[in-house]
């Protein structure tokens, strides 16, 4: 029995680093892979992947090797975020921003990065109101398959939450309209 071939976006995505850093200009590795599969974008826009990823993409897509387009950022070796815990005020903003759920903590309590799951994407840095997150280079490499899975799970969870929020807003609107209608008919 022949093993079914994975489709092109899937093959491309498998070559991407899965940091989910958005530096390529897309909301994660998968949308960049889709754009590459549609020939809409250059193969040299992924700073975490650097030359290794460019070479792999050039081979798969039969394209010319180009240097990394530094408009999207400079190559950065594997890194991890570290929270200076004594300075953390527990605002949860980093936790919300982390695309792979590598931060744990509860509101008003100290937060911590799970080092093995952190991709070094740096998305937690800008939201931190007290600048207590630092990035350090590391020898340890996160697992890209796990990072991809955790990103997908987070995306799905956010979609459910957004849908629930939309439903709540809709219900409130309907209730408000019914109340206004009732008031109007009371005064007629």
Which residues within the stretch 92-121 sit at the binding site for ligand SF4 (CB under 6 A)? 92-94, 97-98, 100, 102-103, 105, 111, 113, 118-121
User: Tokens 């990103």, residue?
Assistant: 151
Figure out which of the listed residues 17, 43, 68, 148 binds ligand SF4, where binding follows CB under 6 A.
17
Report the greatest alpha carbon distance in the chain.
76
Give, as one character, the DSSP assignment of residue 7: P
Please report whether residue 54 would count as binding ligand SF4 according to CB under 6 A.
no
> Cβ contacts of residue 48 below 8 Å, gap of 6+?
17, 19, 21, 23, 75, 76, 119, 120, 121
Q: Contact, 122 vs 102, CB < 8 A?
A: no
Is 24 near ligand SF4 (CB under 6 A)? yes
Residue 32 found at the interface with ligand SF4 (CB under 6 A): yes
Q: Which of 12, 35, 43, 46 binds ligand SF4 (CB under 6 A)?
A: 46
3-state secondary structure of 90: coil
By the rule CB under 6 A, 122 interacts with ligand SF4: yes
Q: Closer to ligand SF4 by CB, 91 or 180: give it.
A: 91
Please check whether residue 60 is in contact with residue 12, taking contact to mean a CB–CB distance below 8 angstroms: yes
Enumerate binding residues for ligand SF4 (CB under 6 A).
16-17, 19-24, 26, 28-29, 32, 46-49, 81, 83, 88-94, 97-98, 100, 102-103, 105, 111, 113, 118-124, 127-128, 130, 132-133
């Amino acid at each position: 029995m022949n093993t079914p071939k994975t489709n092109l976006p899937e093959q491309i995505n498998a070559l991407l680093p899965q940091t989910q850093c958005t530096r390529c200009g897309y909301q994660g590795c998968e949308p960049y892979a889709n754009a590459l599969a549609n020939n809409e974008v250059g193969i040299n826009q992924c700073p975490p992947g650097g030359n290794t990823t460019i070479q792999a993409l050039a081979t798969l897509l039969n394209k010319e090797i180009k240097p990394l387009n530094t408009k999207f950022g400079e190559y950065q070796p594997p890194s991890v975020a570290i929270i200076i815990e004594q300075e953390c005020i527990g605002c949860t903003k980093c936790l919300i921003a982390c695309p792979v759920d590598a931060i744990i903590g509860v509101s008003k309590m100290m937060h911590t990065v799970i080092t093995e799951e952190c991709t070094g994407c740096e998305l937690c840095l800008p939201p931190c109101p007290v600048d207590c997150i630092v990035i350090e280079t590391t020898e340890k490499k996160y697992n890209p398959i796990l990072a991809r899975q955790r990103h997908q799970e987070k995306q799905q969870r956010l979609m459910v939450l957004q849908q629930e929020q939309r439903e709540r807003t809709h219900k409130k609107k309907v209730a408000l309209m019914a109340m206004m209608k009732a008031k109007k008919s009371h005064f007629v």
